[in-house]
Amino acid sequence: MKQIVRKYLQIILRLLVSGLAMYFVFAKIDYASVHELLGRSNLLLLMAGVLFFFLSKVISAYRLNMFFGAEGIHIDQLTNMRLYLLGMFYNLFLPGGIGGDGYKVYYLRKNFNVPVKNCIRAIIFDRVTGLFALMLLCLIFAFFSSPQFIKPWQILLLTAASTTLLYLATYKWFEDYCRILNVTNLQSLSVQLSQVITALVILKAIGEDQQILLYLSVFLVSSIVAVIPFTIGGVGARELTFLFASEIFHLNVEASIALSLLFFIITVVVSFGGILYLIRPGLIRYRPNPV
């Protein structure tokens, strides 16, 4: 009973944080200008953004399946992709319920009879490699957009230190992942680059063509902030990041918020595809992938 109460309190708290963040953001900007930017966005470019975002999720699902395979969980790619989309739907639309990761653990435990800890290990390390790639790209984009704030030797030092730490931790605690780590790191970079391209396409769609690298750098920082679970689906966290960054770097704040909102809408569109597998769970069925 206490766990249920705590769970719902967390949902209410996250909703409040998201709501307050969005209220603060829209109190600071010209809502009419943002609405105008959204209204005259190039629809074809936004559709291209949806495709690039979906591509990032396909690569991400494939990466996660490699970690499952390293844990002895062999599942075919189609089933894995469907499970991944359903997880996205749960994470975005039912953040306080079973959750996408929780459903994956439940499904794999039920169909593959593997220890829960093996499923959790794969999911956690999948997130770690994604965050590693995100931070690496953030450093690179920050250097090219604002070289006065970060120097090449600092990038090299931070990259070397974080890479060494990742590989040492893998060899010490996740030895089964050593043989696939190079490939999954490349996949993680591809995932983040696909989402950067999504952000770039959105900027083009709203007609923003100034300080592009700086916008993309802030977008990467906002992606890191959105990972922190204090809001619902990252709503409010990205917008606050763009708001503060716009004031610091003198970006067009309305364009920044429009970018953030459109990226969220694209996330919703792709995530909503998972509802098909919620309505028809039989479409996600056990089909082991040959080893």
DSSP string for residues in 139-188: HHHHHHH-TTT--HHHHHHHHHHHHHHHHHHHHHH-GGGGGGHHHHHHHH
Task: List, for the chain, all residue ranges whose pLDDT scores fall below the cut of 50.
Answer: 97
- Segments making up each domain of the chain, as ranges: 2-283
pTM, to two decimals: 0.88
pLDDT, residue 14, reads 65
Give 119-151 pLDDT, tens digit per residue. 889 998 999 999 999 999 988 888 887 777 777
What are the tokens at 62?
A: 């494939």
Q: How far apart are CA 95 and CA 133, in angstroms?
A: 25
Q: Coil, helix or strand for 90? A: helix
CA gyration radius for the chain?
20
The half-sphere exposure of 85 on its side-chain side, counting CA atoms within 13 A, is 22
pLDDT, residue 56, reads 96
Contacts of residue 193, Cβ cutoff 8 Å, sequence gap at least 6: 137
Give 148-178 pLDDT, tens digit per residue. 777 777 888 888 888 898 899 888 888 889 9
